[in-house]
Amino acid sequence: MTLTDLPMLSLLIWLPIFGGLILLMMPGEHRGIRTVGLLTALLTFVLSLLLIAGFDSQTYEMQFVERLSWVRAFNIEYYLGIDGFSMPLIVLTTFSTLLVVIAAWEVIKDRLHYYLAAFLIMEGMMIGVFSALDAILFYVFFEAMLIPLFLVIGIWGGPNRVYATIKFFLYTFLGSVFLLLALLYLQFQTGSFAIPDFHAVPLTLNQQIWLFLAFLIAFAVKIPMWPVHTWLPDAHVEAPTGGSIILAAITLKIGGYGLLRFALPITPDASMTLDWLVIMLSLIAVVYIGFVALAQTDMKKLIAYSSIAHMGFVTLGLFIVFRIFANTNNGYGEVLAIEGAMVQMISHGFIAAAMFLSVGVLYDRMHSRDIYAYGGVANRMPVFTAFAVFFAMANAGLPGTSGFVGEFMVILAAFQANFWYAFLAATTLIIGAAYTLWMIKRVFFGEIANEQVAALQDVNRREFLMLATLAAIVLLIGVWPDPLLSVMHASVENLLTQLAQSKL
C-alpha cells in the first residue's frame, strides 16, 4: 500500500478535529491535556510531511483526491485534492498549529483544554479549506473555521475583545455572503459544485465581472486589502499570541488562496479587465499602510499593519500577470509574479508568526504591547534580542531571509508590467525598514528603561526552540528557495495557461 492509497487529506482534516473533541471532553485539571494536544498537533504535522514525500511536483493534476457524494439532492460532494498551491499552505498550517500548542504550554492558564481544542479543530478546518475541491465543502470550512477563532479572541483575548470580535465577524460575514452568492450562481451555470467544473465553464464578461467582484470582496476582507483592513489590527491587538499567529500565518493566506483558486481561474477575463483595481489597492496597501505602520505605538498593531503591507505584494503579484503578458513574452515574468506571491504568503506565514511570537514573549513578561513601555531589552535578553533583530530584518526583506524572496520576485515581475508599479512596490525597502527598525530600536536598544525591563529574564528553552526553528526555516527559504518553488511550477504553469486563454 502506498501513501496515495490512504485518505491522507481526510486524515489530516479529521485527526486534529478528533483530538480537539477529546480535549473538550477531558476535565479541566487533567494532567494529560498538554500531552494530548501536543501529540495531536505533532502527528498531524508528521502526516503533512508525508504529504510532501508523496507529492508529485511534475503534474498540475489534483493529487490525493478523495471524492464521495455528500448531499445528493444538490449534487454536493465530499471532494478533496491538492496541488502545488495548496500543499505548501497545508504544511504551513500544521506547522503553525504545532507552534501555537507549544506557545500555549505554560502561558495559557485559563481553560487550556478548550484553548487547545479550539486551535486543533480550527487546524482541521483550515486544512479543509485548502484541500476542498467542492465549493460548498470549501464554504463550510471557510465559515466554520472562523468560529473557533472568534471564540479564541472572545474568551482569551484582551480587554476590548468583544468589539474586536464583532468587528471581525461583521467584516468577514459581509465578504462571505458575496462568496456564497457567487458559488450558488456558478452552480446554476454548471450544475455542479466541483471547483474544477467552475474552472472550465464558459462565462460572458458581464457574468465574470459580477462573479469577480463577489470573489474580490470575499477574499479582500480576509487578506485584508485596503480599505477593508481595519478589522485586522483590532483583532490582532485583542487576540492571544496563538490567535495572532494563526490569524497572521493562515487566515490571511486563505484570502490569497481564494483569489488563486477562484477569482483568477474562474473569471480570467474579468480579472484582466479589472486588474487595475487590484493593482491599485495592492500598491495602496504597500505605500499607504506602510506609512500608517510608521505611526503605530502598539507592537501588535505595527506588525498587523506590516502584515497588510506585505500581503499587498501577494495581490500585486497575482494581478500583474496580465500586464506582463501584454508587455513581454519572455516566459518568466508571469511565473515570477505568481510564484513570488506564493512565496510571499509562505514566508509571511513564518515571519509574522515569529514576530507575534516575539511580542508574546515580551507580553508574557511585562503585560504591555506599548512600544514606549520598553527600552533597553537587549541588556537583559541578549539571546531574544538576536532573534528579534533577525526577524525584524527578515520582515524588512533582507536578502538571505525568506522575506526577501517573495518581494524580490514580485518587484522584478512588477517592473515588467510597469515601471511605476515596481517603483511604488520597492518603496517597501525604505518604509518597511523604517517602521521595523524603529520598533527594534525603541524596544531593544538604549539604556534599561524601567524596573520592569530590569527584571526581565531571557528566553527559556521552550521559547528558544520555537524561535530557533522559525529562524532556521526563514533562513533556509531565503538562502535556497528553489525546493519550495519547484513544488509549484506545474500548478503555476497550468494557472498561467488558464489565464492566457479567454473564457469568452
Q: Which is nearer to another protein, 135 or 285 (CB)?
A: 285
Sign, CA dihedral 313-273-227-185, equals negative
Q: Does 150 bind another protein (CB under 8 A)?
A: no
Rounded distance, CA 391 to CA 371, Å? 17
Q: Does 178 bind another protein (CB under 8 A)?
A: no
Q: Which of 393, 459, 495, 499 binds another protein (CB under 8 A)?
A: 393
Site string for another protein, 104-143 (x = CB under 8 A): ----------------------------------------
Min dist. Cβ of residue 128 to another protein (A)? 30
Q: How many CB atoms lie within 10 A of CB 461?
A: 7
Rounded distance, CA 219 to CA 318, Å? 13
Distances (CA, A) of 450 to 42, 92, 454, 456: 40, 38, 6, 10
Site string for another protein, 310-329 (x = CB under 8 A): ------------------x-
Query: 333 to 392, contacts with another protein by CB under 8 A?
Result: 333-336, 339, 376, 378-379, 389
Calculate the CA dihedral of residues 414, 419, 420, 426 and round it to 10 degrees.
Answer: 60
Sign, CA dihedral 365-366-371-373, equals negative
Q: Which is nearer to another protein, 288 or 356 (CB)?
A: 288
| 63 beta partners | 82
Q: How many residues bind another protein (CB under 8 A)?
A: 60
Q: Does 476 bind another protein (CB under 8 A)?
A: no
Q: Which is nearer to another protein, 26 or 294 (CB)?
A: 294
Min dist. Cβ of residue 142 to another protein (A)? 22
Q: Does 415 bind another protein (CB under 8 A)?
A: yes
Please give the distance of CA 210 from its chain centroid, rounded to a whole number: 26
Q: Does 42 bind another protein (CB under 8 A)?
A: no
Rounded distance, CA 65 to CA 341, Å? 25
Min dist. Cβ of residue 389 to another protein (A)? 8
Rounded distance, CA 486 to CA 58, Å? 9
Rounded distance, CA 300 to CA 291, Å? 16
Binding range to another protein, per CB under 8 A, among 73-81, 183-191, 236-244, 403-411: 403-411
Q: Which is nearer to another protein, 39 or 383 (CB)?
A: 383
Q: Does 469 bind another protein (CB under 8 A)?
A: no
Rounded distance, CA 424 to CA 488, Å? 27
Terminal alpha carbon distance of the chain: 45
Which positions touch another protein (CB under 8 A)? 167, 227, 230, 288, 291-296, 328, 330-336, 339, 376, 378-379, 389, 393, 398-400, 404-405, 408-409, 411-412, 414-416, 419, 422-423, 426-427, 429-431, 433-434, 437-438, 441, 444-447, 480-482, 485-486, 489, 493
